Structure 1
């Protein structure tokens, strides 16, 4: 990993009358997985949604690959090469798996070679290619949600709790897909409550508290320091 592909500097975000982000400073290195960790409700999801543009930053700057994207609309950020997997999956239940994937390819038709790779990573997508997405199981819907973000080669993937509520076998499939994406050199900012997944995938980590980043460092350091885990998040990863 080298220079950051994404930099947040003093980012504040309000939702209605609530101040959620209170000056977030964050760098995501190029070509690795950065875990965004912290207790529930500290601003992790709001950070991702502010980066992709679903929420507008009240102040501060967001730089992507050297360009200021703070004021860009969501479609422009997607065209710039940012993929987003929301916690609520964001799929279209009335449309087929195929139609969901076609809509996700913002730059043109789906690349057959990339689609074949996605079928290898997520076999159920090929099985249910013509089926309505709403009829898929929870795990299959999550596969589709991640595959939509991976429909094209993005420069940065923002992924919000991809393994939440899933069975261990599905979690293993998800982790394998993200590991393969990482192997290909992708840059990923990942919110994840499953610490086993976080330890297995993360290269660097940023810990949030009360709308701010309170610690950044190597994932290996946090994963092996129970006292640091307790101080930062009030729990030990070894118990999860």
Structure 2
């Protein structure tokens, strides 16, 4: 499965990124995949390669590019609970600096790059994200109605104000440690009120970060559930691409 490093021109510089896609010279539906707060690293390459194996061109940007190429800080091979707080203490200023305005400027650049690649089929694309990447994915989809046909966000915060702008089919997979059943009910009511075609559920017995195999939060059953939700969503939304 080819993986290539790319540099994407943006309004604020050039964002390093990588793309994974099937070999063979054909064109495939495009997927923009936002990393979690730890950023681009081997586990994201594994996940992008897995998704590409199902017939997608997957673009994974370093949204911290203003602070340097990925990885912007040195990360341990396994981000255990004993180092998590120290790592996040270094990353939080970068996350807080990534304002909504920056998110939308970068989204324009990422989608523009994605849709002009020779390996990407014409038509709508999908956006996925993990942790803070789920928030970026939601804002990207809301800012590009009609262009983004599918949105999937996992164990991430939700921008309720962005819901009214969504035209994509949506799946939200929440960690049990992040959202109470009562809060889930309120969120799903907001999705219904916004007319969003969605599934939104708490993954049982999970904590924040459950998809990431290089952390103590990882839950293999929840990762399988994530693929079981994500792949049919992409198939439905991008079937005509």
Larger radius of gyration between Structure 1 and Structure 2 = 1
Q: Kindly indicate whether structure 1 or structure 2 has the higher relative contact order, using CA contacts under 8 Å at least 6 residues apart.
A: 1
Task: Name the structure with the higher strand share.
Answer: 1
Normalising by structure 1, we get a TM-score of: 0.31
